[in-house]
Amino acid sequence: MLTKTVPAGALLPLYGDPPLTLVSGEGCTVRAADGREYLDFTAGIAVNALGYASPVIRRAIDEALESGLIHTSNLYRTLPGEALAETLVSLAFPGGVFFCNSGAEANEAALKFARRWAGATHGDGRTGFIAFRGSFHGRLFGTLAATDRPNYREPFLPVMPGVEFAEVGDLDCVHTLLARGQTAAVLIEPLQGEGGIRPIDTAFLRGLRAACDEHGVLLVFDEVQCGLGRTGDAFAYEHSGVVPDILTLAKPLGGGFPLGAVVANHAVGATLQPGDHATTFGGGPFVSTVAHAVVRTVCAPDFLRSVREKGERLRAGLETLLDLDAVREVRGRGLMLGLALNEPAAPVVSSAREAGLLMVGAGPDVVRLVPPLIVSDAQIDQAVSLLRQSIRR
């Protein structure tokens, strides 16, 4: 085990200067190279749904290694990916699944599938997309174009053309854009993550569904961060009753191994052909076996109930912080909560770390709380108390 701090000198300088070197973890805690333990409410940025050293994941890894097949490529059939796809479809909606390796790749594939569908269905040059203010869909050239962060985009222009942004809640604007007949799909996170933990109003999601149906446009839900149990439902959209045509998933899916997925309904799937899209690694037997164990665990009704209960406990705890001048609002659902501050989030994140609590911001003034979904009541209470100390400092 690596126990001393190693200079990060050979890594390209894309991540700033990491404040900690982590060497081990168990449950919801991680240990740093200096021996200090931290309560982890970052969970690998909403990835480690089952925490560290999960027995579920260990067992799945052992099972996955038995066949000796870690990777085979998609030139050959392997059964674990097919079984995982069946489970995802049965949890979401009838259709098919494409596996890739990250959230951005899942969204990138969704954009391609939408164009393919629009070409096959309308054949009138509808290649555009509508995305929303506050959105984050990834940093590849298509997904970057659909991400509402001009500063991420500008150094790399030109990105994919054809994306227009609407304000969340402004259905008139969406209708106006759709009426131009240039849109293949509308892309939205049902609960915005990086943009500040902002749940999207149910009435707006229903309005989007109706507008897409009216104009013959696909509705794509990006549940890379909010999907797979995080909000207390298998998928965050279930809360609204609105079903998308395409659903993208990633972060918790692979149990920490890189895996993304696109679930597309039959109408979309019917327009795809061999060669339209592909990836060497996507949905290999090893990662699919692990992911299947994760999905079966986090989408089990009792587990989802416990996420909702813990989410309520965390929310209630965070609401007790509203007496602090620095705290403005508690937002989110389940165990994807944000504490909106009247001041920058970064200093609070730093003092919380000093106090023993790991968190990450979501936008300039929101502290994001996305603990492992197995977090205990005692750990929730401890996090709230450490957060109070950190905001007071």
Ligand X SMILES: Cc1ncc(COP(=O)(O)O)c(C=O)c1O
Site residues for ligand X per CB under 6 A: 102-104, 107, 136-138, 189, 193-194, 222, 224-225, 250
Using the minimum distance from each CB to ligand X, give the nearer residue, 102 or 231.
Answer: 102
Q: Measured at CB, which residue is nearest to ligand X?
A: 103
Nearer to ligand X, 220 or 307 (CB): 220
Amino acid at 102: S
Bridge partners for 22 per DSSP = 32
Minimum distance from residue 310 beta carbon to ligand X (Å): 21
Q: Which residues pair with 369 in a beta bridge?
A: 337
Give least dist CB 283 to ligand X, A.
15
Sign for the pseudo-dihedral over CA of 69, 74, 78, 83: positive
Nearer to ligand X, 193 or 283 (CB): 193
Report CA-CA distances (Å) from 214 to 2, 77, 301: 57, 39, 34
Smallest distance, Å, CB 225 to ligand X? 4
138 or 229: CB nearest ligand X: 138
Residue closer to ligand X by CB (options 104, 304) is 104
Exposure pattern of 64-90 as b/e (b: 16+ CB <10 Å)? beeeebeeeebeeebebbeebbebbbe
Give me the least distance between CB of 46 and ligand X, in Å please: 7
Q: Which is nearer to ligand X, 105 or 365 (CB)?
A: 105
Closest approach of ligand X to the CB of residue 142, in Å: 12
Q: What are phi and psi of 285, to 5 degrees?
A: -65, -35
Strand order in the sheet with 366-369: 327-333, 336-341, 366-369, 360-361
What are the residues whose beta carbons fall under 8 Å from the beta carbon of 344, sequence distance 6 or more? 364, 365
Least CB distance to ligand X at residue 253 (A): 10
| Shortest distance in whole angstroms from residue 260 CB to ligand X | 7
> Measured from the CB of residue 241, what is the shortest distance to ligand X in angstroms?
21
Choice between 189 and 245, CB closer to ligand X: 189
CA distances from 90 to 69, 87, 108, 215, 265 (A): 26, 5, 23, 28, 12
In the complex with ligand X, which residue's Cβ is closer, 250 or 340?
250
How far apart are the C-alpha atoms of 362 and 116, rounded to whole Å?
Answer: 33
